[in-house]
Every structure is written in structure tokens, then in C-alpha cells.
């Protein structure tokens, strides 16, 4: 199957993502006669052949969904051989490198292939990704994985040390963009420059430590790179909450303010508005007892009566615990040059 050529129906040898929950999904390769066990029971491959992607599959003790793989879902479901990049960093990398159909990209640090799939989609179908992996076993697994996903025409995997050897000679001055995710990126900048086109190109490096970033930036300046910048992508999750507070009585005649157009509406209208907000924000609860449902309906039908005007306030509350630092992204541009000089 082709990762970027969607079709409706599941066939044998397809890669299917089994979705149980947001934090529990995994890939399977569909083979006749095989069975995959999950916490909800068995998934029989024979039964999912012919089903539609996105459909629900009922197991003995629950159900799962059968999803078509794309780079974002693959990042969440892939078998980890190394630490990987996730969508917030990946999306910024693809944007900053300016990827489009037909471009050539060089990558070092193939790892689990999370970024490789996203880079390939950015240059698909006429582009090509040359990716280098230092670890031989990981390079073999990545190569097989790309073949299984129908991407072997667009990705070439090399087993070599990019710091010592760079990319193969046939890639020299062919790349529109280069990405590094290696322990010592500053040792490979000379090879990056050799891989980029003479007309110039884009560069990106991912490093978890600021000391790596500092040395890389020094080396980039020495080699003539410009527009050097380093950023950090951190998601901040907040919950929006609606609160209402009584207006304090400072001896002001609110009717006079309303008549003057200072107050937007009267107390009764504000009370109705607040009630509507509360009803809209109230979470739905399943399996309520009959008497609880009647009591809840009775409360919802009640008119909200206020003796004084209320302020409606929106506030944003940050989660107590959330993901923080992943790494630093350093971007730079190599301007056009003449290697003959």
C-alpha cells in the first residue's frame, strides 16, 4: 500500500492503525489467518479485510477503530527504536524548510522514521529523501519499513557516519534542504554545505542541549550560513472557564447607568445569559438513574433569579502538569555560492 495514496478498503498486506484510545494505538500488517490480541479481545485479520478504513471493529469485550496511516498517526503508533520527534516540532521543521513536491532533502539520524515520513510527504511524489543512519540494524529496519509503506521510490537509506563521511558523492550539491538529529551536529556542517545546492538551501538541526546549539551556531557562521535562529516548541494546555460574580454595591444607581448606555443590559437578561453559559458548559453524564434525570431537568428548567447584576468573566487555567522541553530547533540558510572560486 502507499502511505500517501488513500483508498477506502482494507486489503491484505496493508498497514492498519488499531485505535483503542488517544494513548493506545498500534500498527498491524494485515495477513490472512493471523490474529492480534488486544485488551478488548482478538482482532481477526480475515474479518477486517474488505472493511472500510475508519470503521469500527467489535471485539469480545469492546471495540477498536481501523485507521488509515498518515505521518501524524504513525508518529503516535510507530514501534520505537529511538527517541522520536513529535508533531509540534515536525510541523515547524517542514514549514521552515519550505518543502514542496519535487524537492530533494538530506537527513541524518533516521532513527524510528517519525520525521522521515513527514519529510517525504512534503516532497511527494516527485521528490526524494536521502537519509543516513549510523546504527546498521536500525538502518535495515527503517529501509524495510519504508518498503512496506510503499515509499522506497522516494527514500534511500544509507548506513554510514555522516560526521566522518557525509552523504554519498552522488548527492553533492543536489539537496534543497538538510536536517540533522545527531549528537555532534557541528562536526557535520562541512558535509551539510557540500550536500546543499550551489543556489543555496535551508538547514535545520534538532538538539536537546543548549551547548550543542552554541557550537553548531559558531560552525554555521564559519561556513557562511546566514539567517541563523534557534527556537523551542512547547505546547501550553489551558482550560477556559466561565465564572460569574455579583457586582458590588458601591451606592451606584445601576438604572441610571443602564439608561445612559453604560450598562449593556439589565439584571434579568444577564441572569438568563449566565444560565445559558452554565448549561452549555455542563458535561454530559451517561447512565443516570431515572430520578436523577428528573431532578436535573427540573433544575435546568428553573429561571435564574438575581437580586443584583452579575459580571461574567472568562479565565484560562493552565494544567498543573504538562510536557515541557523536548529540544532546540536551529534553522539557517546557505546563500548562493560559486565553488570554483
3-state SS, residue 236: coil
Q: Is the pLDDT of residue 266 over 80?
A: no
Q: What is the mean pLDDT of the chain?
A: 86
pLDDT confidence band for 282 (50 / 70 / 90): very low
Rounded mean pLDDT, 250-262 = 64
Which residues make up each annotated binding site for S-adenosyl-L-methionine?
112-115, 133, 161, 181
Judge whether 85 and 115 are in contact, CB under 8 Å: yes
My answer on whether 147 and 205 are in the same domain is yes
Rounded mean pLDDT, 201-227 = 97
If one counts the domains in the chain, the total is 3
Q: Is the pLDDT of residue 209 over 70?
A: yes
Q: Is residue 168 domain-resident?
A: yes
Q: Is residue 289 domain-resident?
A: no
My answer on whether 29 and 100 are in the same domain is no
Q: Is the pLDDT of residue 302 over 50?
A: no
CA dist 188 and 196 (Å) reads: 13
pTM summary value: 0.77
Domain span including residue 228:
76-234+324-334
My answer on whether 103 and 136 are in the same domain is yes
Cβ-Cβ contacts under 8 Å for 282 (sequence gap 6 or more): none
User: What is the H or E stretch that residue 201 is in?
Assistant: strand 201-207
My answer on whether 60 and 98 are in the same domain is no
Rounded mean pLDDT, 67-96 = 95
* Per-residue pLDDT, 3: 86
Q: Is the pLDDT of residue 285 over 60?
A: no
My answer on whether 84 and 55 are in the same domain is no
Task: Determine how β-strand 104-108 pairs with β-strand 41-44.
Answer: unpaired
Radius of gyration of the chain (CA): 28
Q: Is residue 105 domain-resident?
A: yes
Q: Is residue 292 domain-resident?
A: no
For the segment 113-123, what is each residue's pLDDT rounded down to a tens digit? 999 999 999 99
Rounded mean pLDDT, 232-247 = 83
Which residues make up each annotated binding site?
112-115, 133, 161, 181
Judge whether 183 and 109 are in contact, CB under 8 Å: no
My answer on whether 134 and 54 are in the same domain is no
Q: Is residue 341 domain-resident?
A: no
Rounded mean pLDDT, 254-281 = 54
Residue that finishes a domain, picked among 69, 89, 113: 69
Q: Is residue 10 domain-resident?
A: no
My answer on whether 65 and 83 are in the same domain is no
My answer on whether 137 and 39 are in the same domain is no
My answer on whether 85 and 211 are in the same domain is yes
Amino acid at each position: 500500500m502507499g502511505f500517501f495514496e488513500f483508498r477506502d478498503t482494507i486489503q491484505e498486506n496493508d498497514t492498519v492503525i488499531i485505535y483503542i484510545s488517544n494513548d493506545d494505538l498500534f500498527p498491524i500488517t494485515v495477513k490472512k489467518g493471523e490474529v492480534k490480541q488486544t485488551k478488548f479481545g482478538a482482532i481477526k485479520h480475515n474479518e477486517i479485510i474488505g472493511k472500510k478504513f475508519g470503521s469500527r471493529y467489535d471485539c469480545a469485550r469492546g471495540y477498536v477503530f481501523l485507521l488509515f496511516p498518515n505521518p501524524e498517526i504513525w508518529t503516535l503508533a510507530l514501534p520505537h527504536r529511538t527517541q522520536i520527534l513529535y508533531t509540534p516540532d515536525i510541523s515547524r521543521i517542514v514549514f521552515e524548510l519550505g518543502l514542496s513536491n519535487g524537492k530533494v532533502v538530506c537527513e541524518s539520524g533516521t532513527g524510528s522514521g517519525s520525521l522521515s515520513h513527514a519529510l517525504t510527504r512534503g516532497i511527494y511524489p516527485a521528490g526524494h529523501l536521502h537519509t543516513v543512519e549510523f546504527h546498521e540494524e536500525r538502518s535495515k529496519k527503517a529501509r524495510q519499513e519504508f518498503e512496506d509503506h510503499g515509499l522506497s521510490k522516494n527514500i534511500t537509506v544509507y548506513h554510514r557516519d555522516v560526521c566522518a563521511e557525509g552523504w554519498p558523492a552522488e548527492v553533492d550539491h543536489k539537496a534543497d534542504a538538510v536536517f540533522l538529529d545527531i549528537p555532534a551536529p557541528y562536526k557535520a556542517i562541512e558535509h551539510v554545505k557540500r550536500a546543499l545546492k550551489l543556489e543555496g538551501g535551508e538547514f535545520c538541526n534538532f538538539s536537546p542541549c543548549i551547548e550543542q546549539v552554541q557550537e553548531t551556531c559558531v560552525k554555521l557562521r564559519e561556513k557562511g550560513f546566514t539567517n541563523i535562529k534557534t527556537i523551542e516548541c512547547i505546547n501550553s494546555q489551558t482550560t477556559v472557564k466561565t465564572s460569574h460574580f455579583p457586582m458590588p454595591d458601591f451606592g451606584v444607581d445601576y438604572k441610571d447607568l443602564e439608561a445612559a448606555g453604560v450598562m449593556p443590559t439589565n439584571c434579568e437578561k444577564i441572569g438568563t445569559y449566565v444560565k445559558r453559559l452554565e448549561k452549555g458548559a455542563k458535561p454530559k453524564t451517561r447512565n443516570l438513574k431515572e430520578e436523577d434525570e428528573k431532578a436535573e431537568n427540573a433544575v435546568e428548567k428553573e429561571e435564574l433569579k438575581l437580586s443584583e447584576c452579575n459580571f461574567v468573566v472568562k479565565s484560562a487555567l493552565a494544567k498543573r502538569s504538562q510536557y515541557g522541553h523536548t529540544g532546540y530547533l536551529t534553522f539557517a540558510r546557505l546563500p548562493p555560492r560559486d565553488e570554483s572560486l
